[in-house]
Amino acid sequence: MKIHMLGTGHGDPTPERFNTAALLETGSRFYLLDAGAPAAVLIRKNLPMSRLRAVFITHMHEDHFDGLAGILKFQLKYAPENGTTEVWLPEKRAGKLFRTLLSAAHLPIDAMPGKLLWKTIRPGFFFDDGFLRMEAIPTRHMHIPEGHFPSYAFLICAEGRKVLYTGDLAKDFSDFPLARASEADSCICELTHIRLDSALPVFGSLPLKKLIFSHVGNDWHGAEAEKHFAEKTKALPYETVLAHDGDIYEF
């Protein structure tokens, strides 16, 4: 199993990092984890889009889905006739919004039934195609003044490995899925909303093989910040890295 880090930044693109998007590769199939603007980079990398089986969006913030329309347009235009891409969204209404957007762009979405299958994520194991199994764990990132909306972390199971992908978390880190992290081989955790100092004792208790920080906030951009990050995390009993756009990790 490989994960290509297409974008590793937070909500505002910076000279160092684009918005969040990652491509999971297993069994010659591709799966997109969040789809910020750099999701289109996978086309530039000349990765066969016909292998894209599903897209999973952790929550409905623009920096996690604003590259999705371009990916879906590409699938409608160029994927094989019998190709199907499942689009897993955290809110049912989001599927209608994307269908409307694609129709407004005069794409023949209604004339191509079966090309895109719109699905709604639910807590627990919600996806299993024989190559990849996904569990959604609710988080509180979208508990905002306007209301409480779904947001998820994912437990990714493939090739005998388990990787926890946190999505975005609450600022107090209280919704970090500790139980699932304890059974995972590796973890990809966001580093914009959480405070690293408060989280380090939790991470230090986990039996991980690798910890990767993505969705990296401004405090951790630049050479000096990365030195500071390395100093703070050096006591963790496993490999800990700060992800950059274009990194590829094997599990």
- Active-site annotation, residues: 63
Tokens of 42: 């996978």
Hunting for tokens 């129709």 — which residue is that? 103
Residue-wise over 221-247: b if at least 16 C-beta within 10 A, else e? beeeeeeebeeebeeeeeebebbebeb
Give SS3 for 94. helix
Distance between CA atoms of 67 and 54, rounded to whole angstroms? 14
Q: What are phi and psi of 208, to 5 degrees?
A: -80, 160
Contacts for 64 with CB less than 8 Å, ≥ 6 apart: 19, 20, 34, 35, 36, 57, 58, 167, 168
Distance between CA atoms of 33 and 22, rounded to whole angstroms? 5
Tokens of 44: 């530039």
Q: Are 166 and 214 in contact (CB under 8 A)?
A: no
Helices (H) and strands (E) in the chain, counts: 7, 16
Q: Are 73 and 95 in contact (CB under 8 A)?
A: no
Q: What are phi and psi of 123, to 5 degrees?
A: -60, 145
